[in-house]
Amino acid sequence: MPIPPTVLAELSFAKRLSPDACAALAEIAEMETFPAGAVLFREGDLPGGVYLVLDGRVTLTMRAGGGESAVLSLGTDELVGWSSLLHRTRVATATVSRAAQLVRIPASALLELCERDPRVGYAIMAQAFEDVSDRLVDTRMQLLDLYGRRG
């Protein structure tokens, strides 16, 4: 299902984009709904789509010690699958944990858009960088195992 540029413009991912750039982004994007349990991609998969959450929840899990561990969940307005912007294979498995409406943008088309107009490219990369940096800080806090000691 196509996504109206106005809906896209509401998202943080588009907050640095001009209306024209936003329309260009909407052209390559697709709105999709997923039931709980749907797997968007698996750890180790080849690069594919980048997702933005409109509604619902996506949980990232990683394989560890023979089991699977949930490491982060993402909700409204958050970015899922950023590693595809770097042509990397998937670092985690993304599963819809609460029925979700997502924006799906094929990574190849998105990168093409970035390269065509470096200003748009910069805006998109800067936003992705902001998200990834927030997540890095959060991950560090998780690593501190705050509540494990007492809190």
Partner 1 sequence: MRRIDRSQLEQLCHLAQRDGRTLIGPTVRDGAIALAPITTAADLPVGWTDVQAPGRYRLSRTQGQRAFDFVVGPNSAKEQFFKPREPLYRAERRADGRVGFVAIVPEPEKRALLGVRACDLAAIAVQDAVFVEGAMRDPRYASRRADTLVIAVHCTRAGSLCFCASMGTGPKVNSGADLALAEREHDLLIEALTPAGEALLAQLSSEEASGEDLRWLDESVESARASMGRHVDTRAVHERLFAQLEHPRWKEVADRCLSCGNCTSVCPTCFCSTTEDRSDLDGSTAERDRLWESCFSREHSELHGHAVRGSTEQRYRQWLTHKLGAWVSQFGASGCVGCGRCIAWCPAGIDLTEELAALSTSDARALMPVAAPCAEEGRDEAMVPSPARVLSVTRESSDVVTLALAIDEPRPFAPGQFYQLSIPGIGEAPISVSGRDGAGVEHTIRAVGSLTRALCELSPGSELGVRGPYGRGWPMRELAGAPVVVVAGGIGLAPLREALRQMLADPQQYPDVRLFYGARTPEDLLYAREMLGWTDRRGFQLSITVDRSSPTWRGNVGVVTRLLKRSTVPDAARAILCGPEVMMRFTIQALARLGVTHDRIWLTMERHMKCATGHCGRCQFGPYFVCKDGPVFRYDEVASLFGRDGI
Q: What whole-number distance in Å separates Cα of residue 134 and Cα of residue 113?
A: 25
Rounded least distance, CB 111 to partner 1, Å: 27
Q: What distance lies between CA 102 and its chain's CA centroid?
A: 10
Helix count (H) and strand count (E) of the chain? 5, 6
Q: What whole-number distance in Å separates Cα of residue 61 and Cα of residue 58?
A: 10
Q: What is the DSSP letter of 11?
A: S
Per DSSP, what are the bridge partners of residue 74?
Answer: 58
Instruction: Please tell me whether residue 18 binds partner 1 under the rule CB under 8 A.
Output: no
Rounded least distance, CB 52 to partner 1, Å: 13
Instruction: Please tell me whether residue 141 binds partner 1 under the rule CB under 8 A.
Output: yes
- Binding window for partner 1 (CB under 8 A); candidates: 14-22, 44-52, 112-120, 135-143: 135-143
Binder of partner 1 out of 33, 98, 101, 117 (CB under 8 A): 98
Which positions touch partner 1 (CB under 8 A)?
A: 36, 57, 59-61, 67-73, 75-78, 95, 97-98, 134, 137-138, 141-142, 144-151
